[in-house]
A and B are shown apart, each in its own frame.
Chain A
Amino acid sequence: MTKRELWFWLSGIPGIGAMTARALLKEYGSLEELWKLKTEIVEESGLMNLRQKNAFLYSREKDAIKRRFDEMTRLRIEMVTCEEDIYPSRLKILYDAPIVIYYKGKLPDEDTPTISMVGARDCSGYGREVALHFAASFADAGIQVISGLARGIDGFSHQGALEANGRTFGVLGCGVDQCYPRQNLDLYLEMMEKGGVLSEMIPQTKPLPANFPMRNRIIAALGDAILVVEAREESGSLITVDQGLELGKDIYAIPGRIMDPLSAGCHHLIRNGAILAQSPADVLAGFEHYEQLTLPLSGGKLVLDSKEEKVYACLDLVPKNTQFIVNETDLTPQEVMECLDRLEFRGQVREASRGYYMKAGLF
């Protein structure tokens, strides 16, 4: 057994997390000794419970481990252990830092400013626009975007960064050979080219609910700051924020409308001292100590004809039905459709869902 294979073995024992693994290594000296540990000693160990002990004993099958290790290499899944130099230094501040990180693509750059973006899975059209816009601005400014590759805000954050040709990394709650949720398959594949996906779970781990809080601490640790785009009052995103606070990260939150339950979590954070992020510049201000930061240009001025002006004036970041615009203006349905078509073609308006339109990309 090589050293890497031993790390692979230790990280893959079901029920033994980073904490237990580190405690075992400390108690029994080294990986090799842990591998050769006598059954009686394992049974008497106070560091593991009965299930963990059984899993530990059962896992020491040389052939099976070698087979899975080779399979991983064949799938071009990279692995970095906490002993190696390329292990992300940002993770070292975690008291339960992962002993091994598996990844496809690249690892986040150590010296580049990095932000973690989190938010609701069932986000609103507003959240979608904000996530796309902020992520794209960060990418333009040379900031790496970290998120969880989930539905909703996570996906749009990655997408925004990719569309601006930025680097973005997804932290998974399953093995990096799995794509969860399936809808994000195209994102998952694109990120492997232009960034990376990483996980502390051994390949083939299923996306179990218990894995996600563990994933969140990695997201919190990897970013220099955390931006919450949209979150309900009792959102999982707030767990990431708590973990980030323990690590001393800056927390930014994007405000919403006061009656919008999807922004209640963000408002709660702002009330408790998170920094209000009204535009990407508010966040970029916190990254001033990075020298290579390039600040984005502000958008050009809109030129609209009178009908387009009327239509555009009816829209905001909450999707509006075509009929609503017809009722608000004195235009016919046909005129409204033509205006929307032109505005949409120029990227000033977006069809949020069929027949519903909202302003796009301008702040």
Chain B
Amino acid sequence: MYNKVQSAVLHGMEVHLVEVQADISEGLPVFDMVGLPGSEVKESRERVRTALRNSGFRIPPKRITVNLSPADLKKEGTAFDLPIAAAILRGITNIPDAFENGIIIGEVGLDGSVIPVRGAISIAKHAQALGYCRILCAKENAEECRNTAKLSCIGVSSLKEMAAYLQEGTLPPQESCITEETMPSLPDFSDLAGLEVAKRAAEIAVAGRHHFLMVGPPGAGKTMIAKRMMSIFPALNDEERNLQAELLSIMGLPALSPDRPFRSPDASVTAAAFLGGGQKMLPGEMVLANDGILFLDELPSYPSRILDLLRIPMEEGKVILTRKNGAYEFPADFMFVGAMNPCPCGFYPDMQRCKCTPDQRIRYRRRVDGPLLDRIDLYLSLQPMDYEGISGGRGCGENSETIRGRVTQAWERQQNRYEKEKFHFNARMPAEKIPVYCALGRTEQSLMERYYKRYRLSARAYHKVLKVARTIADLDGSDQIRSAHLTEAIHLRCDDPEAEGRLKR
């Protein structure tokens, strides 16, 4: 007797449907499994058999053959336990519901309990797109799917519950999941008085999602600024929240109410952890920072092979992993925030304390190489914190909520302006669109020409200044880029590393 159930397998962020077929026929009592199962899938045979017996089902002494179709697709992961059990159950009990318009995923324990699996949200979304209207999975998976996908999610906590549902249609008690709209309590910018230039730069960076580099001596407040940048981001919108939930679900992390991510991998991060990959094709730090901040402190201490990996994602907003069995694409539209010292000892340009030779300084700066700096729009130079700054002698500065208000407005302006475009933020504007959206008046044109000559800007640097000026104009609520916007943008421009060397001959 032959039965089938639909399931799915996750490859990166892609989902492939898999049909689980189980045949129970006369013959020697064996349990065979075919269809290119990976080692976790092979082990599922023992789990399913024991779990069925422990749940009170008697497996007849017959020949059981399970096939996972298409048979040429490698199946990994533990999500096949539940569909295999379901297919066998249909053969040994009288289950009328073939669950034909639904998908089953889940892992089972030996006691018959159903355990959540990674990537349920991706599978639910894919199933929905293909026209399936039900998904049967562990309770925890059902909860996270319910927030993002519109198909009906049936959560079961044991094989018995699944059997009851399939036989009689009795739905196990479904806990509705409440997601409260609470802003997580983040450190606030009002703590930082006397750092107005830095706060302004952070505001501009977030407003246009510009990649941002802070250079300053130790204790200047670089890390404090980076941490507080989260507090001026507008809340995640539905689309962003769903994508974030999906990524967390692929990682096997709690995906119920995702926050905007702030990832800060340390300098010992491996290429695989940074970019993603490994046997399970898990997303890396750059992917997990999607729609949030990727913060690298002490930038020159990262190996150059890690920094080189940043280039393409910083520009294209995605990571593509090419492996022997295909290319895996992940979103990686993060905002890069870097922090570094101006020289190995950290005190330059305070010549009374800096003991580095010009050569040491240049060599240190060159570790953050040209191609990376080319992709950074904003450069902030910080001074050591003075006593009034540390002691709080300047009182409170502007708080994060006020800044977030301006940023939200700037974001809205950009969404409206770029409605028909592929990009949504000034920082992602391709060069060919710059003349369209960053047109300058005559005065501004001549000012820009002056800057171009004075600072010997490259074509790329010129474009970056215009994009930043566009963001400043958006913060200002202005449709036109004005001279003041250009001046502020040029002040925060990010040069090539030779510039510092050129200044100090």
Tell me if chain B binds chain A. Answer: yes
Residues in A lying within 8 Å of B, measured CB to CB: 121-125, 128, 151-152, 155-156, 159, 183-184, 187, 259-262, 319-324, 326-327, 332-334, 336-338, 340-341, 345, 351-356
Query: Whole-angstrom distance from the CB of A18 to the nearest CB of chain B?
Result: 31
Among B352, B383, B491, B500, point to the contact of A324 (Cβ < 8 A): B383
Contact B197 A340 (CB under 8 A): no
Query: Whole-angstrom distance from the CB of A174 to the nearest CB of chain B?
Result: 17
Contacts A122-B357, A354-B495, A356-B381 hold; do A334 and B484 have CB atoms under 8 A apart? yes
Q: Mark B340-370, 1 if CB is under 8 A from A, else 0.
A: 0010000011011000111000000000000
Does B130 belong to the interface (CB within 8 Å)? Answer: no
Q: Which residue of chain A lies nearest to B502 when distances are taken between CB atoms in the complex?
A: A183
Contacts A151-B358, A333-B197 hold; do A319 and B349 have CB atoms under 8 A apart? yes
> What CA separation (Å) do A327 and B504 show in the bound complex?
27
**Known contacts A152-B358, A152-B504, A334-B200; can you find 6 more A-B pairs with CB under 8 A?**
A184-B505, A327-B386, A327-B394, A334-B487, A341-B491, A354-B499
> What CA separation (Å) do A338 and B483 show in the bound complex?
9
Q: Which residue of chain B lies nearest to A125 when distances are taken between CB atoms in the complex?
A: B349
Query: Whole-angstrom distance from the CB of A169 to the nearest CB of chain B?
Result: 17
List residues 485-505 of chain B with CB under 8 A from any CB of chain A.
487-488, 490-491, 495, 499-501, 503-505
Q: Which 3 A-B pairs have the closest CB atoms?
A: A355-B381, A321-B383, A124-B351
Query: Whole-angstrom distance from the CB of B245 to the nearest CB of chain A?
Result: 38
Contact A355 B484 (CB under 8 A): no
Query: Whole-angstrom distance from the CB of B376 to the nearest CB of chain A?
Result: 13
Main secondary structure of the interface of B (DSSP, over half): mixed
Among B196, B358, B454, B490, point to the contact of A333 (Cβ < 8 A): B196
Does B235 belong to the interface (CB within 8 Å)? Answer: no
Contacts A260-B351, A321-B381, A322-B381 hold; do A337 and B488 have CB atoms under 8 A apart? yes
Contact A159 B195 (CB under 8 A): no
Among A121, A326, A354, point to the contact of B500 (Cβ < 8 A): A354
> What CA separation (Å) do A124 and B355 show in the bound complex?
12
Residues of B within 8 A of A123 (CB): 351
> What CA separation (Å) do A151 and B361 show in the bound complex?
13
Contact B352 A337 (CB under 8 A): no
Contact B503 A156 (CB under 8 A): no
Residues of A within 8 A of B484 (CB): 334, 338
Q: Mark B466-496, 1 if CB is under 8 A from A, else 0.
A: 0000000000000000001001101100010
Query: Whole-angstrom distance from the CB of A136 to the nearest CB of chain B?
Result: 15
Query: Whole-angstrom distance from the CB of B439 to the nearest CB of chain A?
Result: 22
Residues of A within 8 A of B356 (CB): 122
> What CA separation (Å) do A187 and B505 show in the bound complex?
10
Contact A340 B491 (CB under 8 A): yes
Among A326, A345, A354, point to the contact of B196 (Cβ < 8 A): A326
Residues of B within 8 A of A152 (CB): 358, 504-505
Contact A155 B491 (CB under 8 A): no
> What CA separation (Å) do A326 and B491 show in the bound complex?
14
Contact B358 A122 (CB under 8 A): yes
The range of chain B's interface size is 35 or more
> What CA separation (Å) do A340 and B484 show in the bound complex?
12
Query: Whole-angstrom distance from the CB of A118 to the nearest CB of chain B?
Result: 16
Does B95 belong to the interface (CB within 8 Å)? Answer: no
Residues of B within 8 A of A332 (CB): 196
Contact B505 A183 (CB under 8 A): yes
Query: Whole-angstrom distance from the CB of B381 to the nearest CB of chain A?
Result: 2
> What CA separation (Å) do A353 and B504 show in the bound complex?
8
Residues of A within 8 A of B109 (CB): none
Contact A159 B196 (CB under 8 A): no
> What CA separation (Å) do A183 and B357 show in the bound complex?
14
Residues of B within 8 A of A340 (CB): 491
Contacts A321-B381, A345-B450 hold; do A155 and B487 have CB atoms under 8 A apart? no
Does B337 belong to the interface (CB within 8 Å)? Answer: no
Q: Which residue of chain A lies nearest to B455 when distances are taken between CB atoms in the complex?
A: A351
Contact B351 A353 (CB under 8 A): no
Among B349, B358, B379, B499, point to the contact of A352 (Cβ < 8 A): B349
Q: Which residue of chain B lies nearest to A261 when distances are taken between CB atoms in the complex?
A: B352
Contacts A155-B505, A353-B503 hold; do A323 and B382 have CB atoms under 8 A apart? yes
Most buried by B among A124, A128, A321: A321
Contact B194 A323 (CB under 8 A): yes
> What CA separation (Å) do A350 and B394 show in the bound complex?
29
Query: Whole-angstrom distance from the CB of A220 to the nearest CB of chain B?
Result: 23
Query: Whole-angstrom distance from the CB of B378 to the nearest CB of chain A?
Result: 12
Among B198, B349, B503, point to the contact of A323 (Cβ < 8 A): B198
Does B142 belong to the interface (CB within 8 Å)? Answer: no
> What CA separation (Å) do A342 and B198 show in the bound complex?
21
Residues of A within 8 A of B454 (CB): 345
Query: Whole-angstrom distance from the CB of B215 to the nearest CB of chain A?
Result: 7
Contact B505 A151 (CB under 8 A): yes
> What CA separation (Å) do A159 and B358 show in the bound complex?
18
Contact B358 A337 (CB under 8 A): no
Residues of B within 8 A of A323 (CB): 194-198, 382-383
Does B380 belong to the interface (CB within 8 Å)? Answer: yes
Query: Whole-angstrom distance from the CB of B286 to the nearest CB of chain A?
Result: 27
Residues of A within 8 A of B197 (CB): 322-323, 326, 333, 336
Query: Whole-angstrom distance from the CB of B358 to the nearest CB of chain A?
Result: 5
Contacts A125-B351, A183-B501 hold; do A354 and B488 have CB atoms under 8 A apart? no
Contact A341 B382 (CB under 8 A): no
Among B491, B499, B501, point to the contact of A322 (Cβ < 8 A): B491
Contacts A260-B352, A334-B200, A354-B500 hold; do A321 and B505 have CB atoms under 8 A apart? no
> What CA separation (Å) do A184 and B502 show in the bound complex?
10
List residues 383-403 of chain B with CB under 8 A from any CB of chain A.
383, 386, 388, 394
Give 23 CB contacts A-B under 8 Å.
A122-B357, A122-B358, A123-B351, A262-B352, A322-B197, A323-B194, A323-B197, A323-B198, A323-B382, A323-B383, A324-B383, A327-B386, A327-B388, A327-B394, A333-B197, A333-B200, A334-B488, A336-B197, A338-B487, A341-B487, A353-B348, A353-B503, A356-B383
Q: Which residue of chain A lies nearest to B353 when distances are taken between CB atoms in the complex?
A: A261
Q: Which residue of chain B lies nearest to A150 when distances are taken between CB atoms in the complex?
A: B505
> What CA separation (Å) do A337 and B490 show in the bound complex?
9
Residues of B within 8 A of A322 (CB): 197, 381, 491
Q: Which residue of chain B lies nearest to A154 when distances are taken between CB atoms in the complex?
A: B505
> What CA separation (Å) do A337 and B487 show in the bound complex?
7
> What CA separation (Å) do A322 and B215 show in the bound complex?
13
Residues of B within 8 A of A324 (CB): 383
Residues of A within 8 A of B504 (CB): 128, 151-152, 353
Most buried by A among B348, B357, B358, B380: B358
Q: Which residue of chain B lies nearest to A320 when distances are taken between CB atoms in the complex?
A: B383
Residues of B within 8 A of A259 (CB): 352
Q: Mark B160-197, 1 if CB is under 8 A from A, else 0.
A: 00000000000000000000000000000000001111
Contact A156 B505 (CB under 8 A): yes
Contact A341 B490 (CB under 8 A): yes
Query: Whole-angstrom distance from the CB of A107 to the nearest CB of chain B?
Result: 25
Among A121, A336, A356, point to the contact of B349 (Cβ < 8 A): A356
> What CA separation (Å) do A184 and B358 show in the bound complex?
13
Query: Whole-angstrom distance from the CB of B72 to the nearest CB of chain A?
Result: 57
Q: Which residue of chain B lies nearest to A259 when distances are taken between CB atoms in the complex?
A: B352
Query: Whole-angstrom distance from the CB of A334 to the nearest CB of chain B?
Result: 6
> What CA separation (Å) do A65 and B488 show in the bound complex?
62
> What CA separation (Å) do A159 and B386 show in the bound complex?
36
> What CA separation (Å) do A128 and B358 show in the bound complex?
14
> What CA separation (Å) do A323 and B397 show in the bound complex?
14
